[in-house]
Amino acid sequence: MNHRPISLLPDVLISQIAAGEVVDRPASVVKELLENALDAGASEITIRIDGGGIQRICIQDNGKGIPKDELELAVMRHATSKIQSLNELECVMSLGFRGEALASIASVSQFTLSSYPAGQESAYSISNQSGSWLVEPSPSSPGTTVDVQSLYFSTPARRKFLKTEQTEFFHCLDVVKRMALANPSVTWLVYRDGKLQSRFQESSWSARVFSILEPMANGASKPIEVQAADMQLHGAVGLPDAARGKGDMQFFYVNGRFVKDKLINHAVRSAYEDVLHGDKFPAFVLFLNLPANEVDVNVHPAKTEVRFRNARAVHQWVRQSIQACLAPSRAVVPLSESPASAQVVESPASGNSNVWRSSSGSTSAVQVQPKSAALPFLREELADYIQAYRPLEPPPRPTQIIAQPKAVYAEPAQHPAEDTDYLGQAIAQVHGIYILALRPDGMVVVDMHAAHERVLYEQFKNALDNQQTISSQELLVPLLVQIDPRLASEVDNGQHLWEKLGFRLSLISTQEIAVRAVPTMLAGQDLSALLQQWLEDLHQYGVAHVLERQRNEWLAGLACHTAVRANRKLTVPEMNALLRSMERTERSDQCNHGRPTWRHFSLSEMDKWFLRGQ
């Protein structure tokens, strides 16, 4: 082959190559331009998208603008006002910092940027005209407008990868929603082919979340706000019952930046493991804030991935915080509450009693940090949501009319009905499967096996937490298991874990372990695949996660076998005992497989069935 000398690439080509990563589709152009508008402090942003964004994307903001003599720099590669040194990169809080978005976008489109910064006598625009830049006066309102037309006209290969205009438009809209969820104090207007498509008016955070993610409204989600040392997690998590068939309502932000991160996804997913049914996807909008130098945001050109300095700690803390938020059952009446403080149930913020708590001692939930100007998301906006949040209407204080429910078939209640008995008084067993209970305001139907299974499971977990070990059986002949040499160090690192789970194992070489004792309930099973998987998980997520997950899996199996089976006749006192223990059990709204354990039917709902009073 002929020798071709090495030569530097022309500038535009470099930008076009970068564009392949930074702005691979119209939605990423929208994302970059919106990040710029937010970094410029805009409070109102108008987005116009024509022809799926391929024809035109025009974004207008009322932010601080760009002075005339900086316009040419703004569209140059590696030119930014956001960082100046490696030091600043390591603690960057702005959304942008790479200084390549405008250059990349301009290299693959017909591009005009007009800006009118405060203090300048008029507006100026810069546009790319046949290979060079033209700066000229332009009529423009205060702020910046970026007009991107004929996207990828110069790179037709890229254009071939785009989907239909409809699909591309909805990707653009998704980007706007992500940004709008994190910035409720900004007003957003989206026009599609000239028509107003969506408008998100400046609002409280809860109003913003419920307007964009309707299925999270009406008690289907719970607020969360926890803080440990220098990490803070807040937002809303969907209840397991409200989980979805697809992962379309999962929003996670790190220091205000929307990210799709494997580690985080895994942490959230495993927080729901114990309460989520089958292949359901939980809904959540969560904001994790931590010092900028604890997280590397410069991992990917599109800045949607991050790397945490202490990944395992973040994983564990996020998982435990969400778990703790989900743990209290709606039926739980906190045991520790004295009758006087039980009135707290009536107060609007009562559903929030869990918010500051965490399931294990390893998390210290402490007071809120003073508001930091650097955090793009304002805590006060969340506070509003927390004030308004109520998990389920508590049973009303009995009044003359509904205090003595006239249940024709009711056996006399075994003890006087108390209005703190959230799940009411059992009156009958239905078809050997359900318990029917009366509440002053209606009735409750409980799936008896599912409920009992959860109660037992939680009891087993507690018992084990206190006793600390699982019974184990020595093997006469040690079992030899091949392992990936990459994971060899985890065998020693995990000694504490093995012991707790009832294993005794040691490393023979870098690729073989000897198993000398196994948990009794696993005796006789092929354990090599299981152990390999644990070592892998241990490597990625740390001991706490593996320990809890494996242990819980076994205990769930045990609970399922032990719980009352269908058709076992229960006496009324037995049924009431089950209801009362549900009220004391965490996660008792779902069985171990994530199915609901009880339903409430209010009198007013029943009146509707029979068209009473209509």
Interacting residues toward ligand ADP by CB under 6 A: 32, 36-37, 40, 61, 63-66, 74, 80-82, 96-103, 144
If phi > 0 it is left, if psi is from -120 to 50 it is alpha, else beta; for residue 78 that is: left
Q: Which does 81 bind (CB under 5 to 8 A by kind): Mg ion, ligand ADP, none?
A: ligand ADP
* Closest distance to ligand ADP from the beta carbon of 144 (Å): 4
Contact window for Mg ion (CB under 5 A) among 34-42, 51-59, 378-386, 418-426: 34-42
Per CB under 5 A, 425 contacts Mg ion? no
Per CB under 5 A, 301 contacts Mg ion? no
Q: Quote helix, strand, coil % in the chain, to nearest 5.
A: 40, 20, 40
* Closest distance to ligand ADP from the beta carbon of 158 (Å): 19
* Closest distance to ligand ADP from the beta carbon of 83 (Å): 8
How far apart (Å, rounded) are the C-alpha atoms in residues 162 and 250?
24
Segment (H or E) for 268: helix 262-272
Q: Which is nearer to ligand ADP, 36 or 329 (CB)?
A: 36
CA dihedral 277, 281, 282, 285 (to 10 degrees): 180
Q: Which is nearer to ligand ADP, 100 or 441 (CB)?
A: 100
* 188-227 binders of Mg ion (CB under 5 A): none
Tokens of 588: 């008792």
The DSSP bridge pattern shows strands 284-289 and 250-254 to be parallel
Among 52, 96, 117, 502, binds Mg ion (CB under 5 A): 96
* Closest distance to Mg ion from the beta carbon of 36 (Å): 4
* Closest distance to ligand ADP from the beta carbon of 84 (Å): 11
Per CB under 5 A, 101 contacts Mg ion? yes
**Phi/psi of residue 418, nearest 5 degrees:** -120, 145
Task: State which residue has the least CB distance to ligand ADP.
Answer: 96
* Closest distance to ligand ADP from the beta carbon of 66 (Å): 5
Q: Which does 593 bind (CB under 5 to 8 A by kind): ligand ADP, Mg ion, none?
A: none
Q: Which is nearer to ligand ADP, 63 or 424 (CB)?
A: 63
Q: Which residues contact 531 (CB under 8 A, 6 or more apart)?
A: 481, 483, 505, 513, 515
How far apart (Å, rounded) are the C-alpha atoms in residues 121 and 473?
84
Q: Which is nearer to ligand ADP, 101 or 207 (CB)?
A: 101
Per CB under 5 A, 255 contacts Mg ion? no
Among 15, 16, 28, 36, binds Mg ion (CB under 5 A): 36
Q: Which is nearer to ligand ADP, 100 or 537 (CB)?
A: 100
Tokens of 106: 């301009």
* Closest distance to ligand ADP from the beta carbon of 65 (Å): 6
**Phi/psi of residue 104, nearest 5 degrees:** -65, -45
Q: Which residues contact 186 (CB under 8 A, 6 or more apart)?
A: 38, 42, 43, 44, 45, 180, 202
* Closest distance to Mg ion from the beta carbon of 35 (Å): 5
Check: CB of residue 233 under 8 Å from CB of residue 321: yes
Per CB under 5 A, 591 contacts Mg ion? no
Check: CB of residue 177 under 8 Å from CB of residue 253: no
How far apart (Å, rounded) are the C-alpha atoms in residues 354 and 285?
18
CA proximity to 515, closest of 549, 541, 480, 472: 480
Per CB under 5 A, 444 contacts Mg ion? no
Q: Which is nearer to Mg ion, 92 or 527 (CB)?
A: 92
Binding site for Mg ion (CB under 5 A): 36, 96, 101
